């Protein structure tokens, strides 16, 4: 149930845990290949070369392991996909839902990771 993006995919709970333990700054976009999610994936792909200190990853929302993201307290009120979660040293520093512009994503990246 891997998404068709050029991002690194998370497909299991061990991969999720590994991503957080091996990277200081992580942005995970948990969604589908839908109209609200694709622009976020595209922005992430475009920013990978600019924000080399951030691990940009996707996680298929309907994957059984994605319960990790779906059940986060920070995502409890979210109604729209994707759920995007930002981690610093394994701790959540920001979370958004629904479509985000590249500028909105950059604002979070700059605030939390630089």
- Report yes or no on 2 lying in a domain: no
Number of structural domains in the chain: 1
Predicted confidence (pLDDT) per residue in 29-84, tens digit:
999 999 999 999 999 999 999 999 999 999 999 999 999 999 999 999 999 999 99
Q: Which domain holds residue 93?
A: 8-113
CATH code, 32: 3.40.30.10
Q: How far is 53 from 4, CA to CA, in rounded Å? A: 23
Q: Cα 69 from chain centroid? A: 9
- Report yes or no on 1 lying in a domain: no
**pLDDT beyond 70 at 113:** yes
- Report yes or no on 49 lying in a domain: yes
**pLDDT beyond 90 at 114:** no
**pLDDT beyond 90 at 1:** no
């Amino acid at each position: 149930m891997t998404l068709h993006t050029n991002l690194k995919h998370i497909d299991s709970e061990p991969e999720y845990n590994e991503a957080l333990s091996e990277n200081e700054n992580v942005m995970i976009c948990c969604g589908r290949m839908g109209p609200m999610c694709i622009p976020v994936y595209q922005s992430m792909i475009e920013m990978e070369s600019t924000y080399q200190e951030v691990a940009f990853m996707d996680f298929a929302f309907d994957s059984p392991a994605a319960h990790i993201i779906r059940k986060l307290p920070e995502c409890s009120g979210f109604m729209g996909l994707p759920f995007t979660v930002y981690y610093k040293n394994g701790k959540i520093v920001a979370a958004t839902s629904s479509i985000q512009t590249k500028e909105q994503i950059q604002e979070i990246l700059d605030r939390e990771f630089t």
